A and B are shown apart, each in its own frame.
Chain A
Amino acid sequence: MKRKKLIFIPVLIYILFITVNFSFDQKDSKKLHRNLKTGHKIPSLNKNRLHRPPRSQYAADQVLIKFKSRTTHHQISSALSFYRVKPLRQIPEIDVFQVQIPSDLTVEEMLALLKRNPDVEYAEPNYKTHILATPNDTLFQYQYALHNTGQIIGSVPGSPQGKNLADINAPEAWEESKGNQDIIIAVIDSGVDFDHTDLSEKMISRGRDFVNDDMDATDDYYHGTFISGIIAADTNNKEGIAGVSWNCKILPIKAIDNDGTGLYTWMIEAITWAADQGVDIINMSIGGDAPSDALKDALEDAYQKGVLIAAAAGNDTEPVLYPAAYDDYVLAVAATDYNDNRTTWSNFGPQIDVAAPGERILSCVPTWYFGQGSIPYGYGSGTSASVSHVSGLAALIKSIKPWLSPKDIMNIIRYTADDINRNEHPGLDEYVGYGRINMEKALVPVKIK
């Protein structure tokens, strides 16, 4: 106990530096705003058809037929007449006929007949395709981290372009889970802007402020609002951005003051308080250079209470910060970019578990941040953003598999990651850990063959 006190006192003097060094692109934000205001309406991607229709659906009166290459036109015409099918279309590149079948036959019966014909190479139903669970949030198209189609990330000239599929496969994973509103993610940060339309409905309470020692975690910096947006912004509400976990809720806890720094005590108290509130996940997009036994004890306490803790590795191309460096209790997250490369500034070390997109991430900022005339969204970079994606994923896993322990969820996130730097560093490495997280593999059943 005495030893703990001795360690605790010097720890109090450590000033924390937020691990991110965000640079908001105000021009982008204003341009987005102009787009919205001047009739350049960002189109709805799915017109409210969010859910996949039942699987294995196909047109009830059509089949596709491909005849063997040796079959003559005359033989094909005869065969189509014989089966009483009406050609609707031919796809000449692959010699496939789309035909309408007689009303007295089902697709299955028609296929059974066709498959007996030696001239038919294959015949199959005309299956219906489906849209994935794409949210209708107007700025979703800029969230390459969730769904990267190789789009331009931003709306001002010179905005970078992402690489197709360099993302965490969010829409595919949302088919399996959009999160459970009983799952609570504590965001230990600078608080949250409770007036933000993409966040106001997502908070379970006004939270806790350890900086001012009250029960109102209002954000007077910006960082906590940004982080909360990535994790669980109100999604599919036809405005703003999509959160990783659509339905999960946030408990904001303020442990960073209005200049972006904080004391370890605030962080430590925030961890223990969050664990006592029964949260499922703690997101820590903050960190400091110094180890602390008190911090470690707080993390262990939360971990033993069944809380998964994810923390940012840091942005200085240096060893992993604390608490991320406490490997036994914390999932340490590094940053990748829109091309699926590790960012040059992401911290590294043996404690790194996984990586997630952290370069040029679009999220919420406080409504007062850019001032009037701008929309409350902006781009930022940092492992803070990376860990927020991971916390969102952890919340989705916990939503559908509530019996799993923090260790199990951490392992699922690790083992389902894509080893994006396998050419240079195959397997587990100090830069991206097991790899960039893959929400689809972590949530959607993996086909075994």
Chain B
Amino acid sequence: MFKIKTFFVGLLILMFSSGLIFSQYPEQSLLSNIKIKPGIGLDYFSRTVRAKDEDTTNRIKCFFLTLNTEFEINDGFSITAILGYSISNFNSMTFRNIPVSLELDVGSIGGLLGGLNLNMNILRLRNFEMDISGRIYYSKSTKQTWDIPGLSVEGTAEGKPSLLTVQAGPVFTYTGFAYFLPYVNFSYNKLWGKFKMDETIQDLTGSEEKKLTGRSDLSLSVGFIYEISRNLTVKAEGILMPHSDFKNSDFGSMFRLIYVFN
């Protein structure tokens, strides 16, 4: 598992840095037929998660601040390497399988983030395009330590969350406008997470690991790509992950500012 993670992170760093370097010298680059588009992004989602073997659900909220490098390998196929910082909020998540039960009310937990995005055009029809898009994010927080209040002795809790999201599905884009490309994306949108909590109160110790999954596995995104100038593009979308009780559906949003080297 460690090797896979190391390989994944190494690959991302390599892609990201090489993209930035080559993008400075587009004519001399070995990758001169590859269009490189660095950018920055902001993702937000609020999702209902359920821990394995538990009936209760929690809502987690995450912000991802990302640096992206898109490699447009040929017309209609691109890979984007994503590195960034994640801010996750697991408040109200409760750990009852440790000696003294704990409820998180710690606010945001920071961590590192890596991801990949793939986009492949499969159909062009007059003013419509259909792409297949896939995205994977993995975020891992540094170990957090909190004091357990109200005890007659000192006690601490250590938490370490991680999240993995995978999204894949068709994207339908209307290309009839010159600089404005609205699109709709139906996706399989899966979230897995882990939250390990270690408790130490003198000689009383316990550990609990929650394996989390998102309640909804499907999402509908509506967004647009807007070319502000020849070099600058904005991409924004809203994401809905519906539940059977629609009022409590999950949602998210994504924003990208992309620079294109010509």
Residues of A within 8 A of B (CB): 106, 176, 400-401, 404, 408, 411-412, 414-419, 427-428, 434-435, 441-449
Contact = CB atoms under 8 A, between A and B. Distances in A.
Given A411-B99, A445-B94, A416 B105 contact: no
Contacts of A415: 100, 151-153, 155, 201-202, 204
Given A411-B202, A412-B204, A441-B151, A401 B102 contact: no
A443 B104 contact: no
B157 to A, nearest CB: 6
Contacts of A427: 152
Nearest to B104: A448
B214 to A, nearest CB: 20
Interface size class of B (residues with CB under 8 A): 20 to 34
B149 A446 contact: yes
Contacts of A446: 100-103, 148-151
Nearest to B103: A445
B152 A435 contact: yes
B147 A448 contact: yes
Given A441-B151, A448-B157, 15 more contacts: A176-B101, A400-B96, A412-B99, A414-B152, A415-B151, A417-B152, A428-B152, A443-B101, A445-B103, A446-B101, A448-B102, A448-B106, A448-B146, A448-B149, A449-B106
B146 A445 contact: no
9 closest Cβ pairs, A-B complex? A445-B101, A445-B103, A411-B204, A434-B152, A448-B146, A447-B105, A445-B94, A447-B103, A417-B152
Given A412-B204, A415-B201, A415-B204, A445 B153 contact: no
A62 B70 CA distance: 48
Contacts of A400: 96
Interface of B: 94-97, 99-107, 146-153, 155, 157, 201-204, 247
A414 B99 CA distance: 12
Contacts of A447: 102-105, 149
Given A415-B155, A441-B151, A446-B149, A401 B103 contact: no
Most chain A CB atoms below 10 A, which of B96, B147, B152: B152
Nearest to B146: A448
Contacts of B157: 448
A353 to B, nearest CB: 11
Nearest to A418: B152
B105 A448 contact: yes
Contacts of A442: 100
A426 to B, nearest CB: 10
A393 to B, nearest CB: 13
Contacts, number: 79
B245 to A, nearest CB: 13
Contact of B102 (A176, A416, A435, A445): A445
A340 to B, nearest CB: 14
Nearest to B144: A448
Contacts of A106: 247
Contacts of A441: 100, 150-151
24 contacts: A176-B101, A408-B99, A411-B201, A412-B99, A412-B204, A415-B153, A415-B201, A415-B202, A416-B152, A419-B152, A428-B152, A434-B152, A434-B153, A441-B150, A445-B102, A446-B100, A446-B103, A446-B149, A446-B151, A447-B149, A448-B148, A448-B157, A449-B107, A449-B146
A447 B153 CA distance: 16
B175 to A, nearest CB: 34
Nearest to B205: A408
Contact of A448 (B96, B103, B152): B103
B138 to A, nearest CB: 26
A416 B151 contact: yes
A258 B102 CA distance: 47
A401 B149 CA distance: 21
Contact of B99 (A404, A418, A434): A404
B5 to A, nearest CB: 28
B203 A449 contact: no
Most chain B CB atoms below 10 A, which of A442, A443, A446: A446
Given A400-B96, A404-B99, A416-B100, A449 B201 contact: no
A441 B150 CA distance: 8
A391 B122 CA distance: 70
A428 B101 CA distance: 23
Contact of A401 (B99, B104, B106): B99
Contacts of B105: 447-449
A176 B94 CA distance: 12
Contacts of A411: 99, 201-204
A415 B247 CA distance: 42
A417 B202 CA distance: 14
Nearest to B152: A434
A404 to B, nearest CB: 6
A448 B149 CA distance: 7
Contacts of A408: 99, 204
A173 to B, nearest CB: 11
Contacts of B94: 445
A449 B96 contact: no
A322 B99 CA distance: 28
B207 to A, nearest CB: 12
Contacts of B202: 411, 415
Most chain A CB atoms below 10 A, which of B105, B153, B202: B153
A110 B202 CA distance: 48
A319 B234 CA distance: 78
Contacts of A428: 152
Most chain A CB atoms below 10 A, which of B103, B107, B247: B103
B137 to A, nearest CB: 27
A71 to B, nearest CB: 31
Contact of A445 (B95, B152, B155): B95
B56 to A, nearest CB: 10
Nearest to B96: A445
Contacts of A434: 152-153
Nearest to A441: B150
B177 to A, nearest CB: 30
A447 B99 CA distance: 14
Nearest to B154: A415
Contacts of A412: 99-100, 204
